[in-house]
Amino acid sequence: MKFTDLSLSAALIKELERQNYQQPTAVQQATIPPILEGKDVMAIARTGSGKTLAYALPLLQHLKIDPLSNREVQALIMVPTRELAVQVSEVIITFSKALKNPLITRAVYGGVSINPQMMQMNRVDILVATPGRLLELMDKNAVKIAKTKILVLDEADKMLSLGFKVEMDQILHRLPTKKQSLLFSATLSDSVEKIKADLLHDAVVVESTIAESDVSLIKQIGYRVTAEKKGVLLRHLIESNDMQQVLIFCSSTYQAEHVNDKLNSNGIKSKAIHGKKAQSTRQGHLNDFKDPDNEVRCLVTTDLLARGIDIEFLPYVINYELPRSPKDYIHRIGRTGRAENPGTAITLVTPEEAHHLRVIQKKNNIKIWMEDLPEWNS
Ligand code: ADP
Ligand code: MG
């Protein structure tokens, strides 16, 4: 199937060609037509399968410029993290620029001053937002969602999880009942099933033929190692495999800082991103890490960056510690092996973590290949 088979406008097709997208991915093929028809859609498709464009393209085609909008958002896209808000808005803005009448897209998220964001809200067609900041802006009357036509929940299961429940309830409450709702996620949970009943009407459910936890493009290996030896093993793996770009996940802010310091003091250029860092620093480090010309080899982070972040051709993900939630294992390793590219995910496991690793494998129906510890000179 080609993009031209999907009833997309000539301007969008041209932009897809310009950006060298050859053909729609499975989830794009399945969701773009029903979204264009105005149907509610719930799509479950693996990480890196192109879900952003699956909703962004029909959205851009659907919406018409409304110069009188006066703080009324036409389409609202909810995402769990600030970095993802920036990423999604950037994708939409590039495509929007290709339209004859570009729609105005803004990203709003916490951790930065609210005033510049407020001043941008006079006219906004598409708003990408994290829940807390959206509520703040609504409380200040800077933005209104009572006439919103389309709601997208990216990383839907996360948006509907307990952690966001209070905020999301308020937001859902203030949206009109009559709207088109689109839910996208790589993992499905009971809360999504429930919301399907509560939030969606007559929804088209798309489950990509490839199972949600299909991560077959990703080579998954593990090493059994004591906590004390993890640091030196990590450095050995980076050096011996000549890893030039590796995303390293830790379970806490403290640990992420510690691992980052150790890497740098051993001459491996690294940056750390976690919830205690200033937002501008977080975004700066992420940009440096993504930039192929930059020397930053390692980005050490927490589950903050497990969801949705797209790093082109990222070859390696290392779990320095296991994620608490088995689902997050899938999201973490899904940062590599994107858009049909191969990748390697390495997990370091202490004897204490062995049981939890079994749970992760069982819940996700995957097998992590345990390797013998390499020998190194230390
Ligand atoms: P997901 O949200 O499903 O994890 P993304 O939307 O972030 O995935 O897309 C992952 C990567 O795939 C991005 O770099 C994106 O540009 C690329 N991509 C999206 N659609 C296509 C396509 N039709 N063909 C090739 N690459 C694509
Ligand atoms: Mg995504």
Classify residue 249 by burial, with Cβ atoms within 10 Å: 0-12, 13-18, 19+: buried
| Ligand found nearest the CA of 21 | 1
Q: From atom 26 of ligand 1, which residue's Cα is the shortest distance away?
A: 339
Mean pLDDT by 10-residue block, N- to C-terminus, for the chain (378 residues)?
A: 93 96 93 96 90 97 79 96 97 94 94 94 94 97 96 94 94 96 85 76 78 67 96 97 96 97 97 95 95 93 93 94 94 86 94 96 92 82
How many angstroms separate the Cα of 201 from the Cα of each of 77, 157, 204, 212?
18, 18, 9, 23
Give me 305's structure tokens.
Answer: 């960056």
Residue from 160, 198, 176 nearest 327 by CA: 160
In tens, the pLDDT along 186-239 reads: 887 666 667 778 889 888 888 865 544 456 778 999 999 999 999 999 999 999
Are 84 and 154 contacting, i.e. CB atoms less than 8 angstroms apart? yes
Residue from 235, 161, 222, 210 nearest 27 by CA: 210
Q: What is the pTM of this model?
A: 0.91
Are 282 and 83 contacting, i.e. CB atoms less than 8 angstroms apart? yes
Confidence (pLDDT) at 212: 41
User: Measured from the CB, is residue 310 less than 6 Å from ligand 1?
Assistant: yes
Separation CA 131–CA 185 (nearest Å): 17
In tens, the pLDDT along 305-327 reads: 999 999 988 999 999 999 999 99
In tens, the pLDDT along 18-40 reads: 999 999 999 999 999 999 999 99
Separation CA 361–CA 359 (nearest Å): 5
- How far does residue 252's CA lie from ligand 1's centre (Å)? 29
Average confidence score pLDDT of the chain? 92
User: Measured from the CB, is residue 338 less than 6 Å from ligand 1?
Assistant: yes
Confidence (pLDDT) at 375: 85
